[in-house]
Amino acid sequence: MKTKKPVIIGIAGGSGSGKTFFLHSFLHHFKHDEVTLVSQDDYYIPAGEMTQEENKLYNFDLPSTIDDQQFLMDIKKLINGETVYKKEYNFNNPLAVTKILEIHPAPIIIVEGLFILHFKEINSLIDYRIFIEADENIALERRVQRDGIERGYPEEDVLYKWHNHVVPAYKEYLLPYRETCNQLIYNNSNEADEIIRITEIMSEEFKSNYCK
C-alpha cells in the first residue's frame, strides 16, 4: 500500500546533450526499489514501416508524435502505487523484438524526455526539474555518432533531420522552459568523471530525503 507520495524528477535535454549517460549514471547510485524510470521514447505513436527516404522526411521531433495522454496516465498510476506494463518502443525497426516493460512504483520516479516540460499536465506533476544542455556543435557530433553506429542512418540523413527537425523542435518545445528548471547542467565534456560526480551528489541528496 502506498504510504507517501513519491517525488517526481523531470530530466529534459535536447538530442546529443548527453542526457542518456546522465540518466544511467544517476540511476546507478540508487537501489532497484528506490527509483523507477518512465521514458518519453516509449510513448511514440507507431509510424508504421517506412522506406529510408520516408524515415528521413518523417519528423519524430514533434509533440504530436507522442501519446502524451497514455504517458500521463502511466505516471499517475506509478504515483498511486500501481505497476505499469508498457511495450518498449523499437524506433520503427521491424526486425526488433518488442519487449514488455514492467515499471514498478518507487519513492523516486524519474520522467525523462524532450517534451516533458511542454506537456502541461505532465509538467505539473514534476517536483524537481533538471535541464541537460550541450553546445550545438558537440551535440551534433554525438548525434551523428549515435545514429550512425546504433541505428545505421547515413550521415546525410542525420544532418537533414538535425537542421530541419531536431534544432527547430528544441528551440520551440524545450528551450523556453530552461529557466523554469531547478538545475541546469552543462554537459560539453566527453569525460565521464564530472557527470558521475554531479549525479553522486544529487542522488545522495534525493535518497536522504525520500528513500528512508
CA distances from 50 to 47, 56, 80, 91, 93 (A): 8, 9, 38, 11, 9
| pLDDT value of position 2 | 47
Architecture in CATH of 7-210 = 3-Layer(aba) Sandwich (3.40)
CA atoms within 13 A on the CB side of 90: 12
98 pLDDT band (50/70/90 cuts)? Answer: confident
Q: What is the mean pLDDT of the chain?
A: 90
| pLDDT value of position 114 | 95
DSSP 98-141: PPEEEE---SEEEEE-TTTTTSHHHHTT-SEEEEEE--HHHHHH
Segments making up each domain of the chain, as ranges: 7-210
Chain centroid to Cα 160, Å, comes to 22
| pLDDT value of position 1 | 40
- The average pLDDT across 4-33 equals 93
pLDDT in tens, 156-196: 988 999 999 999 999 999 999 999 999 999 999 877 888 89
DSSP label at 45?
Answer: P
| pLDDT value of position 97 | 74
Tell me how far apart the alpha carbons of residues 182 and 140 are, in angstroms, rounded to a whole number: 26
* Ranges 41-45, 50-54, 76-80: which has the least confidence: 50-54
Residue 13 phi, psi dihedral angles, 5° rounding: -175, 150
- The average pLDDT across 124-143 equals 95
Tell me how far apart the alpha carbons of residues 171 and 166 are, in angstroms, rounded to a whole number: 9
Contacts of 73 (CB under 8 A, 6+ apart): none
- The average pLDDT across 56-69 equals 92
Closest CA to 85 of 96, 66, 99: 99
